[in-house]
Chain A
Amino acid sequence: MTERDGTLLGTLEHLILLAVLALGAEAHGMTIRDELHSRTGRDLSFGTIYVTLQRLEAKGLVTASMGAPTPERGGRAKRFFKITTDGRRAVRRSQDALNAMTAAWRDARTNS
């Protein structure tokens, strides 16, 4: 399933895709969580992050690849994420919708 049908992203999906974009090649579970925490103050669990990333991958908005296993991770590998063209398009569409509605709110505030 892709986001070509014009459906807007959920808040968490939107934030996580923005974090993946911001982090570039370093986007994996822990860095995404830290980025969201430092920028938004939201203390999300790893479970929340990974369930959302799994859903975004299923929608074709991100691709994932496994890194090399490391000893400090108990021999487990990191999973790195990259945004796809559909993902960029979905972020742009949601961002445009947010900007348009924010402008509408500003106009209403100015007029009142």
Chain B
Amino acid sequence: MAPLNLIGRALSCLLEDEYCVALMGDLAEERARRARADGPHQAARWYRTEFCRSVAAAIRQRLAETARSAPWSLAIGAYTLVGVLEVTMRLLLSRVWPDVAQPASALRIVVELPGIALIAYVAGRFDRRAPLLLGAMMLFAAISITTLSTETMSTAFIVAYLTIGPGGAVLGARFARARRTPA
């Protein structure tokens, strides 16, 4: 399947049929107009760019609408991403820095801070409540694991585990808020 056909399918999921038809019609009409004015190659390039821009804009708006109506789902999505980040970091660190890659390493959690802040920032761009929910979920998980686990944990690990996750979420929320606040 051609890439544009694939993207077109994505578009039909985001817009109702009548809107999809109208959008494709507008793109075709503008492409024909540009082909007459600038030549077929320029028109084809414009079409590809505009098509991808339209799909990206539709996805972004849909995500924003969904996030506004359900901050919990956004926070859960962000929490899942933090999990993916943790696994990825452990895999990467196990090759270059095996000591830090250990599950109970405080330094590994510190290294994850920028990633957590970035995830919280992105979530905060959609809904300002999401990073705080993410921070609360991470704090709850950290308290549960450190109190219920029977494994030996260093004090440094416990402190890092309890503070880095929620701290990263608050940092992301602050960045998102600063970005949202106009000059």
A residues contacting the other copy or chain, number (CB 8 A) = 26
Establish whether residues B32 and A72, one from each chain, have CB atoms under 8 Å apart when the complex forms: yes
Q: Chain B at the A interface: mostly helix, strand, loop or mixed?
A: helix
Q: How far is the CA of A69 from the CA of B22 in the complex (A)?
A: 10
Q: Which of B11, B26, B61 contacts A48 (CB 8 A)?
A: B61
B153 part of interface (Cβ distance < 8 Å): no
Q: How far is the CA of A45 from the CA of B30 in the complex (A)?
A: 12
Establish whether residues B54 and A45, one from each chain, have CB atoms under 8 Å apart when the complex forms: yes
Q: Which residues of A contact B54 (CB under 8 A)?
A: 45-48, 50
Establish whether residues B15 and A51, one from each chain, have CB atoms under 8 Å apart when the complex forms: yes
A-B CB contacts (within 8 Å), total count: 84
With A47-B53, A48-B61 as known contacts, state yes or no: A54 contacts B26, CB within 8 Å: no
Q: Which residues of A contact B25 (CB under 8 A)?
A: 69-70, 73-74, 76-78
What is the minimal beta-carbon distance from A77 to any residue of chain B, in angstroms?
A: 6
Q: Which residues of B contact A52 (CB under 8 A)?
A: 61
B residues contacting the other copy or chain, number (CB 8 A) = 27
A64 part of interface (Cβ distance < 8 Å): yes
Which of A44, A72, A73 has its CB near the most chain B CB atoms (within 10 A)? A73
Q: Which residues of B contact A64 (CB under 8 A)?
A: 18
Chain B residue at minimal CB-CB distance from A76: B25
Q: How far is the CA of A78 from the CA of B25 in the complex (A)?
A: 7
Establish whether residues B28 and A46, one from each chain, have CB atoms under 8 Å apart when the complex forms: no
B137 part of interface (Cβ distance < 8 Å): no
B19 part of interface (Cβ distance < 8 Å): yes
B21 part of interface (Cβ distance < 8 Å): yes
B1-36 vs A, CB cutoff 8 Å, 1 = contact: the mask equals 000000000010011101101111111111010000
What is the minimal beta-carbon distance from B167 to any residue of chain A, in angstroms?
A: 33
What is the minimal beta-carbon distance from B175 to any residue of chain A, in angstroms?
A: 22
Binding site for A on B (CB under 8 A): 11, 14-16, 18-19, 21-30, 32, 50, 53-58, 61-62, 65
Jot down 12 A-B pairs with beta carbons below 8 A, ordered by A: A30-B26, A46-B23, A47-B54, A48-B54, A48-B57, A48-B61, A54-B15, A54-B19, A55-B65, A70-B29, A72-B28, A76-B21
Binding site for B on A (CB under 8 A): 28-30, 33, 44-48, 50-55, 64, 66, 69-70, 72-74, 76-79
| The 10 nearest A-B residue pairs measured at CB | A47-B54, A76-B25, A79-B22, A73-B25, A47-B57, A47-B58, A45-B53, A48-B57, A74-B28, A51-B61
